[in-house]
């Protein structure tokens, strides 16, 4: 499987009573496909998998596959504390038609590098699907380091990594020393730096509500190799990235962004709580401004291209 492009970890829309809005979930899948993303992740942090029952997690995989109908890849998160549970989620994902699985460190356990590698390899042996690693020590408490990558390199299934540590040295190490593992941005406020260092894609929570703007940065940097344009787009996106990465309300902000876009979202599940009125107003302003700015950048480039065509034909 080729990991390249924009892969939103899809939100889980909820009804007022916090039950899953299955029709809303299907609508979100269709929305992302229509906007042109390259893949969808079910069971990511943005989808609130940690607040779902096992039955709900598996049901969402089945529903996603039914809606996608092979139009783009489906990646399924198998995060849990016990290795056995991760394997169970992985096997359920495979049975449900997943194209790949997302594997992170077992949270709270804080394994050594050897223990973490043995965990990941056990999941790989049992499930045997392409793996997108997910390094997020801020949430799991464990960093994936060189020893880990050297050990899991025994299997070709470890194909890509969503790197979310925020450590620029980790980015450099992965880009230089492990080029066979496709690098995916997982730290939104460092997206431009990831693309400069050769990342081929972006796993972006805000891709749920702003897929066009995220695709614009991906196209500029990866497809057009135009980092001047990319820097302009990233500059427009940064106020949102600061809200998401530094505001302490990541999932809530993305869900409210979906509401602003007219998409089904609903409340977050406990223990999280929604945004305050002031936080909503701030986010509305940030999103409105960035959408206008990115649109002007992209429209300006289109006008320039059209002008060049006219000049050549004159």
pLDDT in tens, 49-91: 999 999 999 999 999 999 999 999 999 999 999 999 999 999 9
Whether 134 is a known active-site residue: answer yes
Q: Determine the Cα–Cα distance for residues 282 and 285; give it in Å rounded to an integer.
A: 5
State yes or no: pLDDT of 111 exceeds 60: yes
Residue 181 domain-assigned (yes or no): yes
49, 134, 136, 218: the active-site residue: 134
Query: To which H or E segment does residue 148 belong?
Result: helix 146-152
Distance set, CA 312 to CA 28, 238, 277, 299 (Å): 43, 37, 53, 20
Range(s) of the domain holding residue 283 = 5-308
Whether 7 is a known active-site residue: answer no
* Predicted pLDDT of residue 43: 97
Residue 314 domain-assigned (yes or no): no
Residue 227 domain-assigned (yes or no): yes
What integer best gives the mean pLDDT of the chain? 95
65, 94, 162, 255: the active-site residue: 162
How confident is residue 280, by pLDDT bands cut at 50, 70 and 90?
Answer: very high
Quick: pLDDT tens for 119-178.
Answer: 999 999 999 999 999 999 999 999 999 999 999 998 999 999 999 999 999 999 999 999
Q: Determine the Cα–Cα distance for residues 179 and 126; give it in Å rounded to an integer.
A: 26
Domain holding 285: CATH number? 3.20.20.70
Quick: pLDDT tens for 198-238.
Answer: 999 999 999 999 999 999 999 999 999 999 999 999 999 99
Q: What angle do CA 68, 72, 78 make, to 5 degrees?
A: 80
Residue 120 domain-assigned (yes or no): yes
Residue 149 domain-assigned (yes or no): yes
Residue 38 domain-assigned (yes or no): yes
Q: Determine the Cα–Cα distance for residues 281 and 35; give it in Å rounded to an integer.
A: 26
Nearest partner of 287 among 220, 180, 214, judged by Cα: 214
Distance set, CA 94 to CA 10, 43, 98 (Å): 18, 14, 5
> Could you write out the DSSP letters of every residue in 235-267?
HHHHHHHHHHHHSS-HHHHHHHHHHHTT----P
Residue 313 domain-assigned (yes or no): no
Q: Determine the Cα–Cα distance for residues 189 and 230; give it in Å rounded to an integer.
A: 13
Q: Which two tokens stand for residue 84?
A: 């056995």
* Predicted pLDDT of residue 314: 46
Residue 34, CB-side half-sphere exposure with 13 Å CA sphere: 9
Query: To which H or E segment does residue 161 belong?
Result: strand 158-163
pTM of the entire predicted model: 0.93
How confident is residue 246, by pLDDT bands cut at 50, 70 and 90?
Answer: confident
Residue 268 domain-assigned (yes or no): yes
Q: How many domains does the chain have?
A: 1
């Amino acid at each position: 499987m080729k990991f390249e492009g924009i892969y939103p970890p899809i939100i889980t829309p909820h009804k007022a009573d916090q039950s899953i809005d299955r029709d809303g979930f299907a609508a979100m899948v269709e929305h992302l496909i229509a906007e042109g993303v390259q893949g969808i992740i079910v069971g990511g942090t943005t989808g609130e998998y940690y607040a779902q029952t096992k039955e709900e997690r598996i049901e969402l995989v089945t529903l996603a596959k039914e809606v996608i109908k092979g139009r783009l890849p489906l990646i399924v998160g198998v995060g849990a504390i016990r290795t056995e549970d991760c394997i169970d989620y992985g096997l359920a994902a495979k049975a449900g038609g997943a194209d790949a699985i997302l594997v992170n460190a077992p949270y709270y356990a804080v394994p050594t590098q050897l223990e973490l590698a043995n965990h990941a390899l056990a999941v790989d042996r049992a499930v045997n699907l392409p793996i997108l690693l997910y390094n997020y020590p801020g949430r799991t408490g464990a960093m994936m380091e060189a020893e880990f990558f050297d050990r899991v390199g025994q299997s070709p299934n470890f194909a890509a990594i969503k790197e979310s540590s925020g450590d620029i040295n980790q980015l450099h190490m992965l880009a230089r020393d492990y080029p066979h593992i496709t690098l995916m941005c997982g730290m939104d406020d460092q997206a431009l730096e990831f693309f400069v260092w050769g990342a081929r894609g972006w796993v972006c929570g805000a891709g749920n509500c702003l897929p066009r703007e995220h695709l614009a940065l991906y196209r500029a940097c990866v497809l057009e190799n135009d980092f001047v344009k990319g820097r302009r787009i990233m500059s427009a996106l940064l106020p949102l990235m600061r809200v998401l990465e530094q505001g302490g309300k990541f999932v809530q902000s993305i869900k409210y962004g979906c509401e602003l876009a007219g998409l089904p979202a609903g409340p977050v599940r406990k223990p999280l709580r929604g945004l305050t009125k002031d936080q909503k107003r701030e986010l509305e302003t940030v999103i409105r401004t960035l959408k206008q700015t990115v649109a002007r950048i992209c429209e300006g480039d289109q006008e320039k291209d059209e002008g060049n065509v006219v000049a050549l034909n004159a």
